[in-house]
Amino acid sequence: MDVLLHYFDKVDWADIWVATGDTMLMLSTSLLFTVLVGLPLGILLFLFSPRQLLEQKATYGVLAFIVNAIRSLPFIILLIVMIPTTIFITGTSLGVAGAIPPLVVGASTFFARLVETALREVDRGIIEATQAMGATTRQIIVKALLPEAKPGIIAAITVTAIALVGYTAMAGVVGAGGLGDLAIRYGYQRFQDDVMVVTVIMLIVLVQILQTIGDKLVTHYSRK
Amino acid sequence: MIEFQNVHKTYRVDGRDIPALHPTSLRVENGQVFGLIGHSGAGKSTLLRLINRLEEPSGGQITVDGEEVTALDANGLRRFRQQVGMIFQHFNLLASKTVADNVALPLTLAGEMSRKAIDQRVAELLARVGLSDHAKKYPAQLSGGQKQRVGIARALATKPKILLCDEATSALDPQTTASVLQLLAEINRELKLTIVLITHEMDVIRRVCDQVAVMDAGVIVEQGSVADVFLHPKHPTTKRFVQEADQIDESEQRDDFAHVPGRIVRLTFQGEATYAPLLGTVARETGVDYSILAGRIDRIKDIPYGQLTLAITGGDMEAAFARFTAADVHMEVLR
């Protein structure tokens, strides 16, 4: 019992809180930009895809290829490949700021595909009905497709947020800190398994919270 | 008036041209309920969607009240579509919006009315279709018949001149079908709305339509007033639809009558003739005897009709036949 009680004695809690803060900062900022970039990208993928409103084989082919190419890269590689671009955008390739651009690029392509799928789930009859009312393509998207796909898009944001938690663990490579980085440096490299256990628990709690919020919102907006 | 001149439609599938509608000319007068009947794949759905150009014609000309629909640009087409309501087999309501918001959608899309005016119009429409108490519900909370009523209210929101019905009752049970058809007939009568509907059920045609066109393999094979087409079908496809509606199998019936003595005739009464005491009078005056082998007294929309299959024996048979023909009754000698 004593062993258990004193197991966490040597953990530096200040480090843990700083790391948690970094993770939360990276997560919230990158999730925000991921949605801002990925949602329009997903809508475009949907619209240009075969048999959809703005069917454009060539444009769809190019977009799909770029999205697939980015998604082929393991995040850790993307992080390094993007260093020059990251410096151009944020002025630094280090720290939390240095981690955001690769996080956004990696996650928004993933998110865009989920948005495309969510839009494809909307009954074609809905599009036909709004077309028959004389709606413009823009109105069809804003007034019909997005409201109908809202639960699916919220679920996509949840999945993306959780994937981002995983990505942030690798952002330690560029010195961005965060819980994952702490776990690797202390737990793995310094054999401080107590720190590892604490960070793992924090990550589990974080993911559970994200999933619960996401599920609640999906239920709230589902009318089926 | 809706007018088709040599309109045709061909789909290109895997490099091959599949004709969905062969060159067709057609005219639907204002205020009519025009029915298109055909089996699935007959081209009726394509024809319906050509009217508001949800399908683009491969050739030909479509005009509505003198306006050439086939010549409209994107903006003109959007304005035109606001004057054409449409309802669907699977209702196509937005699950994310309430009943009231669904009905309001065409009005908010048109963007010409204030929120207050829209709310008032929606309330009127819901009252017309009998759903005032359901305004705040979501489509998932409604029955099929109620959903179609929302669809109808939505289609009427912009006060269209034309209502297109795409198998509007095919997903409904017979009782609900009857009430939805009644609502459509009411709307046609009170709003002087032209209705074009497609269906694969002759019964739907019989209940609400004035004119009917029968389609088979992308061609209109028979067309005319519902009473004419229904009572005197000519094309094999039409005959099949009528028999399905009557639930009789003619060849089977012939076998049943094999042992019946005398001549067999089929009399078709229409309108007031249906109620005239013709059979008794003729039997008395010409001395023939008759027995009724099969029969049906019903209505086609508002017109009563009767169709009786009789076996006639004895008396002056020729005189009896002459009397039937003279009495404005259509007679077919079956044997």
Nearest to A135 among B52, B109, B138 (CB): B109
A-proximal residues of B, 220-259, CB under 8 Å? none
Q: Tell me which of A130, A133, A218 to substitute to probe the interface with B (most B C-beta atoms closer than 10 Å).
A: A133
Q: Where in chain B is the domain with CATH 3.40.50.300?
A: 2-244
- pLDDT > 80? residue B27: yes
B96/A135 CB distance under 8 A = no
- Chain B residue numbers touching A150 (CB-CB < 8 A): 96
The verdict on domain B2-244 having CATH code 3.20.110.10 is no
Quick one: which of B285, B279, B288, B273 has its CA closest to B309?
A: B279
Question: How far apart are the C-alpha atoms of B56 and B250, rounded to whole Å?
Answer: 41
Q: pLDDT tens, position by position, for chain A (224 residues)?
A: 677 777 877 778 888 898 899 899 999 999 999 999 999 999 999 999 998 999 999 999 999 999 999 999 999 899 989 999 999 998 888 888 889 999 999 999 999 999 999 999 999 999 999 999 999 999 999 999 999 999 999 999 999 999 999 898 888 777 888 888 888 888 778 888 888 888 889 999 999 999 999 999 999 999 86
Give residue B34's pLDDT band: very low, low, confident or very high (50, 70, 90). very high
CA-nearest residue of chain A to B98?
Answer: A223
Q: Tell me which of B92, B147, B158 to substitute to probe the interface with A (most A C-beta atoms closer than 10 Å).
A: B92
Take residue A106 and report the two structure tokens written for it. 């990696």
CA-nearest residue of chain B to A144?
Answer: B94
Which pLDDT value is given to residue B140? 95
pTM of this prediction?
0.87
B94/A123 CB distance under 8 A = no
Handedness of CA B249, B255, B260, B261 (dihedral sign): positive
What CATH number is given for B250-333 in this structure? 3.30.70.260
pLDDT tens-digit readout, B150-182: 999 999 999 999 999 999 999 999 999 999 999
Contact of A106 with A32, CB cutoff 8 Å: no
B109/A125 CB distance under 8 A = no
Question: How far apart are the C-alpha atoms of B124 and A110, rounded to whole Å?
Answer: 46
- pLDDT > 90? residue B323: no
Give residue for tokens 């599009």.
A127
Q: Where in chain B is the domain with CATH 3.30.70.260?
A: 250-333
User: Is the minimum CB–CB distance between A133 and chain B shorter than 8 Å?
Assistant: yes
- Chain B residue numbers touching A54 (CB-CB < 8 A): none
Query: Dmax over Cα atoms in chain A, in whole Å?
Result: 74
Which pLDDT value is given to residue A191? 83
Which ipTM did the prediction report? 0.85
Q: What's the mean pLDDT when you consider all of chain B?
A: 91
Query: Could you tell me the domains of chain A?
Result: 2-221 (1.10.3720.10)
Average pLDDT over residues B78-82: 95
Which pLDDT value is given to residue B242? 86
Q: End-to-end distance of chain A based on CA atoms, in angstroms?
A: 51
